[in-house]
Structure 1
Amino acid sequence: MFAEGGRQILDTQQQSSAHEDNPSSLEAYRDLEGRLKKVENEIRLMDREGRVWSDSVESRLQFLERCYRALAGEMTQKERHETEELKKKIKELEAKHKELLSKAMSMHKDSENMNDVSRLSAVLQMYEMLRLRDWQKFKTECGLTYQTGHGIIKELFNACEKDIEQRTTSIFEVLGISPSNDAMTNSKEAMMPAIRNLFRYHYYQSDTEFYSKIISHTGFDPRPAPPRQFAQQCCKVYCLLLLQDPPVKAAWNLQESPVQYLEHVDKKDRELWGKITLLWPIMKCGEEVIVRGVVWDEN
């Protein structure tokens, strides 16, 4: 098959004159000639071993023949056109690759640290479990109404915001930065990411006693186990949301909450909603809605 054609192609005596005036072409030709001979020898060896050829090997050999003819000036016009088209496609792919790589690198700068157990995606999973599993268990075991649950959740969330605000103020006071000092506003804003990171680690590692102190500033008495566990988890999850960079905060104003950012606690269609109230707030990062709010119908 290729052996005979190869010997015809590799007849250097007939082809050498085509390269005498071009040393670089001659060098490339000889290099390719050596590779082709090596392939041909491997073919003979495999023939003796009784191996079966695959289409991929034949395709590669045909490609080598085409390369040889290109060096010898024997490439047809059609083959030149196909080669030029292939070069264009390769350049386009390289340009696309560079563009995608650039985008990936820019996204990576803002991507989450997957080793951070208090990263936003992990905390949002905790929040989802809080709203579904923990709340349902708490409501059932304590026989709560939605109205009572709304009051407890909102009061706990407010206590978390006050706790973090007070701790942040204390740090600025230690640094000699007054909260009312507008001239230091830029410095305070520049320091906030580092403070949030420090706090987030501390709040994530803290035990139940730490969160019990936050709960003590509310009117909620969580001495029985079910309400105590729910209240502590509420505080932990919401504090970790507040300490993201930028922070994720609860929005309780129903009048400023577009209906597409709300869902019904009983999964009712919107046309069946009555007079609604928020059970769980909308979670927002600036103006971006991160988690939809949960409503129920007031009686």
Structure 2
Amino acid sequence: MSASTLSHAPARDPAAARALGRRRSYMDRIITAFCLAATAIGLFFLASILATLLWRGLGALDWTVLSTDFRPTTYGDDTLPKGGLLHAIIGSLIQVSLATLVGTPIGLLVGTYLAEYARGSALGNAVRFVSDILLSAPSILIGLFIYQLVVLPMGGFSGIAGVFALAIIVIPVVVRTTEDMLQLIPNTLREAVIGLGAPKWKMIVLVCYKAALSGIVTGVLLAIARIAGETAPLLLTSFGNNVVSTDLGRAMASLPMSIYQQANSGFPDLIAIAWAGALLVTLGVLVINVIARVVLRKRT
């Protein structure tokens, strides 16, 4: 713009500028107030849930709950031994651990393929679309699918069917986080490694995975947190029992199933044990997250 044009530009009205500044400041305060109110509402409900869980769960959590399996209700007869959740704890540890071991490598490899090999390809778009559908699909549909695929051919409920159902839930979560984390790595880093003569697979394994490790682990933790509380797919696959069992070929107990069954029993002592189970699930996920964060921080 020339000097003559600038000299003929109309001068800005100071009053109008101050009015515009006041309107912007006013709208900024309104939006900030709405954001703070929404945050306060969310924190209130979250704190209420956690407070209720601690209040009801800690009161029923003791060594008996952790060291014994299911017993008939002691309501009205204190001479009967109190039951616990040992069978459900062992069943959940087995199923969640195996599902994570099965689903994580598959999700990691699929996410790597989408981020490093299939950008813009028709096959990559199709795989991504299917993964997104699985990510948002109701877990009861996955349980029904495994029921038809595994439970009916095997002739009954089994722990291995529960593992397969939970593994399917793990896969899309790990796929999405792995792809997103790998896409955040600058292409200049990839070009530098390739320029040094390293093959692409070594660049992915030694450079990209290391750079995206924190995000990938976070995705795995999110998947564990999700499957740790799933009840619907286990209702159609492993179903549950009332004794300690490590046989994957038979029905296997789990904490979500035990919580669901005992919370609906109508007996106060069993409902209290269900609250203790809900607290155990929450604490288990919390401990896993804290340990992973500490380990990753030390590595960084």
Decide which structure has the larger Cα Rg and report it: 1
Larger helix proportion of the pair? 2
Task: Pick 1 or 2: higher relative contact order, CA cutoff 8 A, min separation 6.
Answer: 2
With normalisation by structure 2, the TM-score equals: 0.29
With normalisation by structure 1, the TM-score equals: 0.29
Larger strand proportion of the pair? 1
